[in-house]
Structure 1
Amino acid sequence: MVIGATGQIGRVAVGALARDGWQVTAVSRGGGRDATWPDGVGTARADREDGSALAAVVGDGCDVLVDTVAFGPGHARQLTGLAGRVGSAVVISSVSVYEDDRGRGFDTQTRPDGFPRYPVPLPESRRTVAPGPDTYSSRKAGLERELLAAADVLPTTLLRAGAVHGPYCRTPRELYFVKRNLDGRARRVLAYGGGSRFHPVSVHTLAELIRLAAVRPGSRALNAVDPDAPTVAEIAGAIDAVMGARVENVLVDGPPPAPTVGDTPWTVPHPVVCDMRAAERELGYRPVVEYARTLPETVAWIERRLRGREWREAYPKMAASYGDLFDYAAEDAWLAEHAA
């Protein structure tokens, strides 16, 4: 059973499990189905926030419950409440749960020198932030703690996802470069010399990890990222190649030179690059796709969403999360003064 089946991760996970021989029930608020799913996939309607509805669709039980939309301890308790009817679970978490040796994490990044300095690569043994109700990261940490503590009744594999990419994403980081290319921007400013690295993960990589964890139940937290961690400049170049665009990079040493100039959704002062050896060891994971190979479907999806619409209308959550990503006036003013 897959909760959040019509979301970005769930769509691909359902197909991967069904093609692997599982009898899959796809659970979503609308009860819909994806055209790519095999005919044998069943569907069910349930709101993730309604514990009674969730229990009802689980019914007499399932061998594996995949939850792509769990975000805090309350959701963890919903799942552990199904113990005895569920054999094991696979739940999506996030690399944002990590903190560094000085207590810095994603929640401190807006403070002076607040961005964490993680080891490269970052292993699962690093400590995590304190659970709490206030932020995405602290809620995910609470989710993990509850589920790992319930290992004796519900073995759960937690997948700490990096920067998720693929079609159906409501906050696609690739939008930053796709829209600029569509708008014919000839130059772009990249902070930190274009060298920022924030490890991505394809929905196809996540689906493979889910597929493997389904047949290898256990209680553990594993990193979930692609085999490669390209720099911002490499990501921009790969998107240019897909779109046939020729753009000049204007590289800035250090942080963004102005609030809306050179600050991409991947721009970080220190690398976030994760270690995948635990997944290889515990699940038998082997890479299935590299970042650049997945870009054509992602770019095509973004182009379709943008067609005939202002970007904030097409991606309202992106606008809410990142603010004005396309302040061309500020960018042009800075370029005129500093990169003529």
Structure 2
Amino acid sequence: MKAIIIGASGQIGYAFYQLLNKAGWEVVLLCRSPLPYMVDVQTTEVLRFDRYERASFDKMMSAGADLVIDLVAFGEEEGLQLLEMQSDYSSLIVSSSSSVYQDAYGRTLDEAGSCGFPLFDKPILETNATVEAGPATYSTRKVALEEVLLSGSRNPLTILRPCAIYGAYSQHPREWWFVKRMLDQRRQIPVAYRGESLFHTTSGRLIAEVGLAAVGLRQTQVVNVGDASPLSVLEIGETIADYLDYNGKLVPIDKGEGNFKDIGMTPWSVPRPFVLDTTRSEGILAGAGLKNRDYLSSIHRYLFNLVGQYGVKNWESAFPQLAAYPFEQFDYAAEDRYLAHLAGKNLK
């Protein structure tokens, strides 16, 4: 059996590769940047080029595959590209996003800052409303990708909608927000929204397990993927603290205002729960003899990998997606001022 992974250098590509390699597949890994992990050279081919180099891409695809896994398709153009080559593969897995969902008032994650955070009164089903397809935002492009593929694919197709993804070789390691503070020996770490925020986490390995199990069903499906029993931000922090033997204190705070508005704002901090209904993915896993994984059972190997990067001189270069957040994430001086302000209020 042969699989092609498009966009193989990140956390999801690594997870898919590990499972396919273990199962004895021949694998072609396509990536633009250097591959950060080791591969089995006897069964694995690594190709370095951009998918938009059409001659190279078409040559790779025309060699044929039983399965194509596309982790970097972002819109209609990539969807049409995959459809043009579908006679050369048998099944397709595409990574979309849970950010495609909108609430009853049309609010989305993309526009949460300007229009208000979406409100979902119960876990989000795959049948919930999504944004309109189009080129405007990340989410509208993902919906355009989904619609093109769902309407034109003649092969079995699985579209995966994960939430806050984590795993080895991530360029967006949300856990770094806690890990760096704890390794920097910050004695107090303020956590906004009193640490009660729920923003569903998804391990890269779980995404790969669900995707490969779904292929066996030989059908077209859209599937939410999220860890079992999602944790609050405070529980995530406590889990990381336990792993690192951190002896400081997590300080639940209300959302700050004015000069303190970004204090305690972790990459999972949201004013309302954003939680997926994972019934469908759990059924797919059960059919393959697997169980959904929770954060506690998935995080340790990833944290080991992440802690190993603590010595990097420039974390912004190592984790560019995390660095792109619109506020300073490690402004310790501002945190100290806020904690002093909070201590002063408590003395009155």
**TM bucket by the smaller chain?**
over 0.9
Corresponding position: 1:99 with 2:102: yes
- Equivalent residue for 2:267? 265
TM-score computed with the length of structure 2 as normaliser: 0.90
Equivalent pairs, count: 337
* Structure-1 separation of matches of 2:26 and 2:150: 26
How far apart are residue 275 of structure 1 and its match? 1.0
* Structure-1 separation of matches of 2:215 and 2:24: 11
- Pick aligned residue for 2:307 from 282, 296, 303: 303
- Pick aligned residue for 1:335 from 312, 319, 339: 339
* Structure-2 separation of matches of 1:309 and 1:281: 44
How far apart are residue 180 of structure 1 and its match? 0.4
- Equivalent residue for 1:13? 16
Aligned partner of residue 265 in structure 2, secondary structure = coil
How far apart are residue 306 of structure 1 and its match? 3.0
Corresponding position: 1:238 with 2:260: no
How far apart are residue 330 of structure 1 and its match? 1.3
Instruction: Spell out, residue by residue over 1:226-248, the C-alpha distance to the aligned partner (whole angstroms, 9 max, x if none).
Output: 11210000000000011110232
- Equivalent residue for 2:127? 125
Paired amino acid for 2:90: G
* Structure-1 separation of matches of 2:312 and 2:20: 36
Check the 8 A contact 1:260/1:330 in 2, yes or no.
Answer: no
- Equivalent residue for 1:139? 141
How far apart are residue 9 of structure 1 and its match? 0.8
* Structure-2 separation of matches of 1:330 and 1:31: 37
* Structure-1 separation of matches of 2:280 and 2:311: 42
Check the 8 A contact 1:31/1:44 in 2, yes or no.
Answer: no
Q: Which blocks of at least 5 consecutive residues in structure 1 are unaligned?
A: none
Corresponding position: 1:25 with 2:48: no
- Equivalent residue for 1:210? 211
CA RMSD for the aligned pairs?
2.0
Q: How does 1:305-320 map to 2 (within 5 A)?
A: 305-320=309-324
How far apart are residue 83 of structure 1 and its match? 1.8
Q: Which moved more, 1:11-20 or 1:316-325?
A: 316-325
- Equivalent residue for 2:82? 79
TM-score computed with the length of structure 1 as normaliser: 0.92
Check the 8 A contact 1:190/1:256 in 2, yes or no.
Answer: no
* Structure-1 separation of matches of 2:272 and 2:99: 14
* Structure-2 separation of matches of 1:131 and 1:44: 31
Corresponding position: 1:70 with 2:67: no
How far apart are residue 31 of structure 1 and its match? 7.4
How far apart are residue 186 of structure 1 and its match? 1.1
* Structure-2 separation of matches of 1:270 and 1:148: 31
* Structure-2 separation of matches of 1:233 and 1:167: 22
Paired amino acid for 1:11: Y
Check the 8 A contact 1:3/1:69 in 2, yes or no.
Answer: yes
How far apart are residue 38 of structure 1 and its match? 7.7
Check the 8 A contact 2:210/2:284 in 1, yes or no.
Answer: no
* Structure-2 separation of matches of 1:338 and 1:271: 26
Instruction: Spell out, residue by residue over 1:108-139, the C-alpha distance to the aligned partner (whole angstroms, 9 max, x if none).
Output: 21025x10012422110101111121211111
* Alpha-carbon distance change, 122 to 85 in structure 1, aligned in 2, over 3 angstroms: same
How far apart are residue 265 of structure 1 and its match? 0.4
- Equivalent residue for 1:148? 150
* Structure-2 separation of matches of 1:108 and 1:115: 8
- Equivalent residue for 2:328? 324
How far apart are residue 196 of structure 1 and its match? 0.4
* Structure-1 separation of matches of 2:210 and 2:58: 25
Instruction: Spell out, residue by residue over 1:21-60, the C-alpha distance to the aligned partner (whole angstroms, 9 max, x if none).
Output: 4332222235758425484233333312333322211124
- Equivalent residue for 2:282? 280
How far apart are residue 20 of structure 1 and its match? 2.5
- Equivalent residue for 1:183? 184
Check the 8 A contact 1:3/1:28 in 2, yes or no.
Answer: yes
Percentage identity across paired residues of the two chains: 34
How far apart are residue 299 of structure 1 and its match? 2.3
Corresponding position: 1:42 with 2:45: yes
Paired amino acid for 2:100: V
